[in-house]
């Protein structure tokens, strides 16, 4: 059995945001890659929109030795970090994709900040693993009620894909109308 979809998506996302090559982690199947690309776009949009707030939260976390500590209990501390961050955001459950995307965007910002401070690829992998576990533990029931990862595309469709579909429909319609007109002209 392969790795869970959440872990595959989050690992690729944090590695890419940290500037690391993720090709050594295997290929995503077509559906998972489509979800990843859409989530990446949504995370970029969210990060751009809330960059100042995310930067402030990251600074606060850097000064909290109880959540940012480099010892053999790192995974446990990181999980507590996500519980701390997500506690207010997910009070009463995840409920919406917007909340889930916001926490993923903040996590990517944390990863970028840690890499900038000199933490290496291992830290990025650890964060991906711990954060995926957090999403599965805290958000998975609500994500399932929202339709799972596959529903993300229906809720937040990629405008580029929508334009391509519209263009295909338009071109197809023009071709059908043109052929129909040609057939009527030829019949006369």
pLDDT band at 69 (very low <50, low <70, confident <90, very high): very low
Query: Measured between alpha carbons, how far is 167 from 88 in angstroms, rounded to an integer?
Result: 43
What are 4-55's pLDDT values in tens digits? 899 999 999 999 999 998 877 778 999 999 999 999 999 999 999 988 888 8
What are the CA-CA distances from residue 88 to residues 94, 97, 130 (Å)?
Answer: 10, 15, 19
54: Cβ contacts below 8 Å, ≥ 6 apart: 47, 105, 106, 109
* Residue bearing the bigger pLDDT, 32 or 71: 32
Question: For residue 123, how many other CB atoms are within 10 A of its CB?
Answer: 18
Q: Is the whole model's pTM more than 0.95, yes or no?
A: no
pLDDT of residue 72: 46
């Amino acid at each position: 059995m392969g790795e869970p979809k959440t872990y595959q998506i989050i690992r690729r996302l944090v590695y890419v945001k940290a500037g690391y090559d993720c090709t050594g982690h295997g290929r995503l199947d077509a559906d998972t890659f489509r979800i990843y690309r859409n989530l990446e776009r949504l995370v970029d949009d969210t990060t751009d929109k809330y960059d100042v707030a995310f930067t402030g939260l990251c600074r606060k976390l850097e000064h909290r030795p109880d959540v940012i500590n480099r010892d053999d209990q790192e995974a446990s501390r990181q999980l507590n970090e996500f519980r701390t961050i997500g506690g207010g955001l997910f009070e009463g459950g995840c409920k919406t994709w917007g909340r889930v995307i916001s926490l993923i965007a903040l996590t990517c910002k944390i990863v970028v900040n840690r890499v900038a401070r000199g933490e290496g690829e291992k830290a990025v992998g650890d964060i991906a693993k711990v954060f995926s576990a957090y999403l599965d533990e805290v958000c998975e029931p609500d994500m399932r009620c929202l339709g799972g990862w596959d529903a993300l595309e229906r809720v937040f469709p990629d405008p580029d894909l929508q334009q391509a579909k519209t263009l295909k429909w338009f071109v197809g319609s023009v071709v059908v109308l043109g052929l129909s007109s040609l057939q009527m002209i030829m019949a006369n």
